[in-house]
Structure formats: C-alpha cells, structure tokens
Amino acid sequence: MNRADTDSTPLYDPALGLAGLPSAPRWESAGQRSLYRSDWVSLDLIAVRPPTAPPYEHHVVRTANAVAVVLEHPDRGVLMLHRHRFITETTGLELPAGGIDPGEDPVAAAVRETAEETGWAAVRPRLFLTRCVSNGNSDQLFHFVHAEVGEWLGGPESPDEGPAVWVRHEHLRDVLGRDLVSCAPSSLGLLHAMTFGLLRDGAAAGSVQAREQG
Amino acid sequence: MNRADTDSTPLYDPALGLAGLPSAPRWESAGQRSLYRSDWVSLDLIAVRPPTAPPYEHHVVRTANAVAVVLEHPDRGVLMLHRHRFITETTGLELPAGGIDPGEDPVAAAVRETAEETGWAAVRPRLFLTRCVSNGNSDQLFHFVHAEVGEWLGGPESPDEGPAVWVRHEHLRDVLGRDLVSCAPSSLGLLHAMTFGLLRDGAAAGSVQAREQG
C-alpha cells in the first residue's frame, strides 16, 4: 500500500512556523549523576521520562561550547587550516575554531582563536549561527562567527594546528564537494554562509554557476 | 601593520587539491586508557604527541556512528520530525536520524531509522555525505543518506520522537534561516543536499530566488 499520495502528514507553513505543527512531545529530566568529571570533558547520566516510554538513564557528554570563524578576505576568500586529526585519522581543511573559555563571549573567543591559530586579526566579527553539535548525546553548542581579515599579529602561536590557506570564494564548493573538509562544523559554517549570502559576490556566483552545471 | 595585501599565505588550487598545500603536521598517538565504558558512550584518554608541543593525554568520546536521512517526496518536500531535546532544552525540526548498530551498513541503518521514527519506507537510498561530528574530541562519524519516500509501513514505533511534517522544497531555506532546525547534523544534511543539487527542482529554485532577494 503506497500512501504517499493520500498522506495526512502536515505540511510546514511559514506563516505559522512551529506553532502550526503538531506539538513536539516533551521529555522531562529528573536529576543526574556524574560518571566522570574533568576540565575538558564530563560525562553524566540523566534520569529522563519520555512521554510514553518507561523512564531510564541517558548518557550526556558535557564539553565547553565552541566557535568556528569564517574569516573573509575580499579577493582571497576564506581562511582555512590544513589539519591532521589523530582521533579520526583524517586530514582536511577546517575553519579556525576552538573551545570557548568559561565566561568568555563567543565572538571574543572567535577573535582569540583566529589570532592563536592563524596569526590574523579578525575584525567586524559577527555571530551568524548557533547549532547543537549532537543533541541526542551532548550539550555542546557550536557558534559560527563571520569576520573580515585585519592586521597580521605575528602568530600563529604554534605550528601544530596546521598551515593556513586561502580558499577563494569560487573554490568553496570545490573543497566541500570533493570532501576536502572532513569536519561537520566547518562544512556547516561554510554552507550556511554561502546559502544565506554572508560572503561577497564570488560565493554566490560560484554557487549559481555550479548549480546550473548540475 | 596590515599585511593582508602582502600576505604569503598560499591559495588553494583545485587542480592540485590538498597536495598543492603545505602539509598538515601529523599528530602521533601512542596508546590509550579507558576512563569509562558502556554500550552507548565510552571515554578514553589517548597519549598523543603533537609535532612540536610536549606529549599529553587527550580525552576522546566514543559513540556509535550515526546517520540522518533526507527523505524526499517530489511535491511535499523533505520529511522532518518536530522534536524536543531535553539535553539542550531545544525544540525544532530534525531529519530522521539515529545510531548505526554494530556491523550495520549506514544505508541499511538509514532505512531502519526512517521506518522506526516516521513509519515510512525509504526507497532508492544513497549515501551522499560523511563528516566527523567533532573531530577534536569525538570519533563519531555522521553519514547522510538521500532516499525517496516509499510505502507507508504502519509506524512510527513510538510517538516519543515527535510528529512528522513535510517541509516543501521552497520552504527549506525558511526553516534553516529562521533557526527552526536546532541541530547541526540536520542543518548540514539539508544545506549540502540543497547546495549540491541532490533535491528536485524546487530546492534549487527556492535557493536562487532567495539569494536574488538578498
């Protein structure tokens, strides 16, 4: 029986937003216990009551929120780092990014991380996106900041993060489509900035051109 | 001193790919010890040697790889779930998604999760993207599968995951731009599918239209 054509699943209506939809069933939490605690990663078990299923204990990973930076030069494009990641044994291009210190503002963290990892000042920084990294098992938020490249500050602090490279606006689709960006946050930040016109003309032009080819 | 105009940072060259860039310094790992182990989440400390900094122990969260599904109806758009997430106290639209069982193929997992969470069969499934969720502290990979909606199978298994809703192609930008999608994997999967022309005409049309408005 194919019911796709007689389907009663509602359609999203932009005029109503989420309020126009059947409501999301609420999962209640009732206390937690700590399994492991450190300055970098903590692990808790939260007692949770799903709306209809029996209560149970759910693991939650707690790490500092993080921020990634789309640092733009009008002609040279977006600054990325060529990085090796030992945890996943992957090598690829990433946006400058890092953890937000306790009490630190995400935009201030973006400027700090950019200076530390690339040696460049990030000017006119603006938070443009926040997403939950993995909301089924982690409380971490990932913020995304757009900034323009400013002065050379004399960094980076360490060569271990990997060398910086400019990716021209018209090549952003290339690095994303060829899987040269292995980490989800860097892919997401670039795609969102490209889709919502946060980058200069080159990005939009490259995107239209490539879609017309496809 | 503004050195942006006399900058020696290399430019990415699509003809050479990563091979045209200064190489990514390699971080070597040398053994690990377990801090916590469970069927759902494990936590290890890996001994790591950065290229120039002193060796240290780095936390690594280990969870099963996961998959999200862009399930498409030619007219109704993409199937999403209206979900509450107690860990982040967020409510929003998400792609059907879930963990991959031991030994399970990502595409098979996508079909299974779609049936469990929405009650729909996913046909002609195709893996289109794999990304590291957070490669600085987790080994988890997130896979993304595109599929066409098939038969109604009589589910979902539980109402706790939240009600399904179709988001028409021309409204995908709206839900992403209005922050009605709170989780990073759902945002990433949709943006990648939209950008690389994996969805039917409506998505590309909506995307072009909205960019011209912006």
Asked whether the beta carbons of residue B63 and residue A137 sit closer than 8 angstroms, the reply is yes
Distance (Å, rounded) from C-alpha A184 to C-alpha A95? 11
Asked whether the beta carbons of residue A142 and residue B184 sit closer than 8 angstroms, the reply is yes
Residue B138 placed within a domain: yes
Q: For residue range A160-190, what is the model confidence (pLDDT) as tens digits? A: 999 999 999 999 999 999 999 999 999 999 9
> Residues A86, A176: one domain?
yes
pLDDT of residue A3: 54
Distance (Å, rounded) from C-alpha A31 to C-alpha B84? 18
Q: What is the CATH number of the domain that holds B103?
A: 3.90.79.10
Q: For residue range B71-120, what is the model confidence (pLDDT) as tens digits? A: 999 999 999 999 999 999 999 999 999 999 999 999 999 999 999 999 99
Question: Residue B28: which of B44, B60, B51 has the closest Cα?
Answer: B51
> Residues A195, A99: one domain?
yes
Residue A25 placed within a domain: yes
- ipTM score here? 0.93
**Best residue of A16, A37, A88, A158 to probe chain B, by most B CBs closer than 10 Å:** A88
The model carries a pTM of 0.93
Residue A161 placed within a domain: yes
Indicate the residue among A22, A42, A62 that finishes a domain: A62
pLDDT at B33 over 80: yes
> Residues A141, A206: one domain?
yes
Which residue is it, tokens 């780095």? B58
Q: For residue range B55-76, what is the model confidence (pLDDT) as tens digits? A: 999 999 999 999 999 999 999 9
Q: In total, how many domains does chain B have? A: 2
* CB B164 within 8 Å of CB B80: yes
Residue B2 placed within a domain: no
Alpha helix (H) ranges present in chain A? 106-118, 172-177, 184-195, 201-213
> Residues A142, A195: one domain?
yes
* CB A57 within 8 Å of CB A137: no
Q: What is the DSSP letter of B6?
A: S
φ, ψ for residue B177, nearest 5 deg: -75, -25
pLDDT at A8 over 90: no
Asked whether the beta carbons of residue B159 and residue A25 sit closer than 8 angstroms, the reply is yes
Alpha helix (H) ranges present in chain B? 106-118, 172-177, 184-195, 201-213
What is the domain extent for residue A49? Answer: 11-62
φ, ψ for residue A70, nearest 5 deg: -95, 95
> What Å distances lie between residue B206 and A42, B40, B201, B213, CA to CA?
42, 39, 9, 11
Q: Which of residues 11-50 of A touch B (CB under 8 A)?
A: 11-12, 14, 17-18, 21-29, 35-36, 38, 40-41, 43, 46, 48, 50
Distance (Å, rounded) from C-alpha B59 to C-alpha B208? 43
Q: What is the DSSP letter of A18?
A: G
Q: Which of A21, A83, A135 sits opposite B183 (nearest CB)?
A: A135
* CB A160 within 8 Å of CB B50: yes
The arithmetic mean of pLDDT across residues A58-74, rounded, is 97
Crossing angle of the two packed helices B184-195 and B201-213, in degrees rounded to 10: 100
Q: Which of residues 52-111 of B touch A (CB under 8 A)?
A: 52-53, 58-61, 63, 66, 73, 76-77, 79-80, 82-88, 90-93, 97
Q: Which of A52-66, A137-151, B150-164, B198-212 comes out lowest in average pLDDT?
A: B198-212
Q: For residue range B132-161, what is the model confidence (pLDDT) as tens digits? A: 999 999 999 999 999 999 999 987 888 999
> Residues B30, B86: one domain?
no
Indicate the residue among A23, A46, A62 that finishes a domain: A62
pLDDT of residue A166: 98
CB-based contact, B124 to chain A, within 8 Å: no
Confidence of residue A212 (pLDDT cuts 50, 70, 90): very low
The amino acid occupying position B190 is: L
> Residues A52, A73: one domain?
no
Residue B1 placed within a domain: no
Residue A55 placed within a domain: yes
Asked whether the beta carbons of residue B76 and residue A132 sit closer than 8 angstroms, the reply is no
> Residues A46, A138: one domain?
no
The arithmetic mean of pLDDT across residues A146-154, rounded, is 95
B49: left (phi over 0), alpha (psi -120 to 50) or beta: beta
